[in-house]
Structures are given as structure tokens and as C-alpha cells.
Chain A
Amino acid sequence: MLEVRGLRAGYGENAVLFNVDFDVPEGSLTVIVGANAAGKTTTCRAISGEIATRAGTIRFLGETIEREPSHRRVERGLVQVPEGRRLFPFMTVEENLLLGSYALRARAERKETLEEVYALLPRVAERRRQLAGSLSGGEQSMVAIGRGLMARPRLLIMDEPTLGLAPLFVERTFDIVREIRKRGVTVLLVEQNVKRALSLCDRAYVLEHGQVVMQGAGEELLSDEGLRRAYLGM
């Protein structure tokens, strides 16, 4: 579904990604792990269009998209749930969710999608009239995921959704990921919680210093000494 080849990207003078190659097969849960500053978030942003790439190609559903602006990619069904949630704190939960279906394709089915999201995330439904900023970290994370779903994604990119969450919400998040997959959404997940992510996924890539240094089935990588070395240098 997603093919990335030779990706180079960075911020101003700082180059972060140097030659990233990976694939996300349709219907899979693909995971990207790696130490801090390895380039996991930069990768997400490059795919969603938040930052421009310097070189390389990104193909989504057979079409080349690396020059397209973000909103066009969302129309195609490529949606990101960004790191740190980034809700609109002074709008209600429902308003945040509705904004998620701004894209034309999603807007048409907005009402149905909203009901689906509330069914999947009952806690969010309970708080639909509350200001998003007043929710706890875990609840905000749920809303952010819901907002992503409102865009009727074909591929959902989730950038560290369990960051800073209590164990209960970490559990819940992984449950939701499983549910999303059941409904046919392909998921690209970036995670710090290595064990969970690798046990759950179909395929995983390990980033180190802007390059993919390992790839394979999640369980394989878990037992590989190389994983620890990718994080800790030796």
C-alpha cells in the first residue's frame, strides 16, 4: 500500500533521514521502532506531508505522492495521528472529531463515521460536549485517534500514541489498534514500547540514525541481539 524508497528529509540544516526504505503492505500492522533522534517522527511527518522531503519517493496505492501537499494526501486516505496528540483545546471533543472529517470524501459520510467512532470509543462519547483541553492525557489520546478515524483513512499513521500514558490507557490503545485493523484499516505504528509493538505487528523496521538497520517479522526482531545494539550502540 505504501512504498518508501531512498527518503531523505530534515529540518533546515539538520538532516535527519538519510536513506529510508520500507513498505507497508495493505491490511497490515507495520511498526517502526528506534531510539530517540533516530528519525521516527520525521518519517511520519515526511509521509503525511508535514515536512518536505529532500530526495526519495513515496508511493501510496501506486501513486507518487512525495510532492503533494498534506490535504491532498488526506483525501487519498493517508491520515496521521501526530505525536503529542495536538487537539484543539478550546473546542469540544465533538468539534475536534468533526474537524477530522474535513476532507471531501470523509465529509459525505460524516454522521455515520461519528457514530462508529463513538461506538469504538465509549469514553470519548461520554465526553463529547467537554472542551478537549480539559480531558486527561489518556482520554485526549483517544480523541486524537478518533479524529484520525473520522477522515475514513485507508492507512492510519500513529506516532507514539502511548507516549506518557498510564498503563491502563496503553492497554486500551493497543486494543483499539487491533479493532481498527479488524475494520480493514492499514496501520503504520511508531512506538517506544518495543515489546508490545513488536509482538503485535506483522512487520517491523528498526531505524537508527536516519536509516533502516533491521527489518523483519516482529517476533524475529524481539529475539535478535541486533535490536538492543541498534538502540544502545553495542
Chain B
Amino acid sequence: MSALLQLRNVTKRFGGLLAVKDVSLDVQEGEIVGLIGPNGAGKTTLFSCIAGYHRITRGSILFNGREIGNHPAFVVCRAGVARTFQVVKPFARMTVLQSVMVGSFLRHRDARSARAAALDVLARLRMARLADLEAHRLTLVLKKRLEVARALATEPRLLLLDEVMAGLSPGEVPELLEVIREINASGVTVLFVEHIMAAVMNIARRVVVLHGGELLADGTPSEVSRHPQVIAAYLGEEYAAGA
């Protein structure tokens, strides 16, 4: 059974800067995989390449057996890969329900069934009560959840979450983690970029570490957190050498 998402030698160059170097990894259907790495490691660039916001310089990205590398973002979404943004991009003046409908319209052409599907997603994410509220009025936590709801409404097989915990207080993290777990349990594969380590290690079954654009480690959370090169990347070479 081949992996749902296959990255083969993906390389992305911005002029003189090599942001992603020869990265290969697999994501199996049903997994929750965390992508971590120090600042500037190339995580968001890699994400944007998968989602179709950047063209890749070399390599290929296969989803469900088909090439999605270098395809525009909307094509990638239609193929079954949905994403959220690091800095939320709400449809400010649309209501919560209308925003999610924009997502559900992808698979439901007429307004009535799109609306029903959207309400369904909102119920699953415990946001039904907010349906008629304008998006710009939501707090950040809820805006992030709305972003997830919107992406989910496109009925993806793979959900890319880009630092969805950023800006949340420690108290707000567990709730969103629970939401993500439920989404994964319902059959959606999740690949997420995160800085908040406690969150990553808590929920991911597999962790991939990027550093300087290269793949550094790929394993279970406990394997990765004890990996000498990963420790060196985060705490400095000298610390790793001493430890």
C-alpha cells in the first residue's frame, strides 16, 4: 500500500537561497505527522510547496499516486489536500457559516446542500452556535478553529495545518489538540507544522525534523527528542556534545 503523500527529493531554491534541500518523506493514510525544526529550517516553505503556493525547483510531490507538485493551489485542494494558514486569513465580513460554506461549495454545487454540509462541520467542531457571527468578530482561538472548519469543509483526505497553535495561550492548546485528534479519528490524515513542542509530542505519532532545509530525523516523538543531531540543532552543538 503506497503512502498517501510522497515527497521525493523535493528542492526549493529562491534565487541564491536553498530553502529546501532534497527532502524525501512519506505520509501514510491515517497518520498524524508533525513537522518541526528551528526557525528558518524550511518548514513553511515545504508546506507551501506541497499546497501549491510555490513551484518546486526539483523533485516530485505525489498525492494519492498523482503528481501535485507545481500545480496551482486550487488544483491541489480539489485533489484532496486542504490547508490552513500560519497567519489566519478569514473572510472577515462573511459569517462563520458563510465562510465554511465557501469550503463546502467545492463538493456541493447547490446552496442548500452546501449549507447543510457546512452546518455539519460546524457541529463537529463545536462552533454551531457561532454560525451567524461575522468572522472578524471572533477571538484568535476561534478564528483558528474557523480556519480548520473551512478547510475541513472541502472534504480533504490530507489536512495541512501550519502553526495552528501559534498565538494561543497554554490553556487553549489542549482544546485544539482534541479537535485535531477527532478530525484524524474521522479519517483525515494530518500533517502539521508546529513550534509548540508539548503540542507536537503529545499528538503526533511520527515526527519529522527539518534543519537548514534538510531532513534531519524521522521517527517517533521519543526517538526524535533524544536524537543527538536534533538536540544539537535546538540547543547548540556544544550542548549536544556534552550531553
Contact = CB atoms under 8 A, between A and B. Distances in A.
Interface of A: 10, 13-16, 18, 35-37, 192-196, 208-211, 222, 227-229, 231-234
Given A35-B197, A196-B238, A232-B225, A10 B231 contact: no
Interface string B180-204: 0000000000000001111111100
Interface in B144-176: 166-170, 173
A234 B140 contact: no
Contacts of B234: 35, 231-232
Main secondary structure of the interface of A (DSSP, over half): mixed
A194 B235 contact: yes
Contacts of B200: 233
Interface in B37-66: 38-39
B15 interface: no
B238 A195 contact: yes
A13 B136 CA distance: 12
B167 A228 contact: no
A36 B200 CA distance: 14
Given A209-B173, A232-B234, 19 more contacts: A13-B143, A13-B167, A36-B39, A37-B166, A37-B195, A194-B239, A195-B239, A196-B238, A209-B170, A209-B196, A209-B198, A222-B239, A222-B242, A231-B197, A231-B234, A231-B235, A232-B201, A233-B221, A234-B197
30 contacts: A13-B167, A14-B166, A15-B140, A15-B167, A35-B197, A35-B234, A36-B38, A36-B39, A36-B195, A37-B39, A37-B166, A37-B195, A193-B236, A194-B235, A194-B238, A195-B235, A195-B238, A196-B238, A209-B173, A209-B196, A228-B225, A228-B231, A231-B197, A231-B234, A232-B197, A232-B230, A233-B202, A233-B221, A233-B225, A234-B225
A36 B233 CA distance: 11
B219 to A, nearest CB: 13
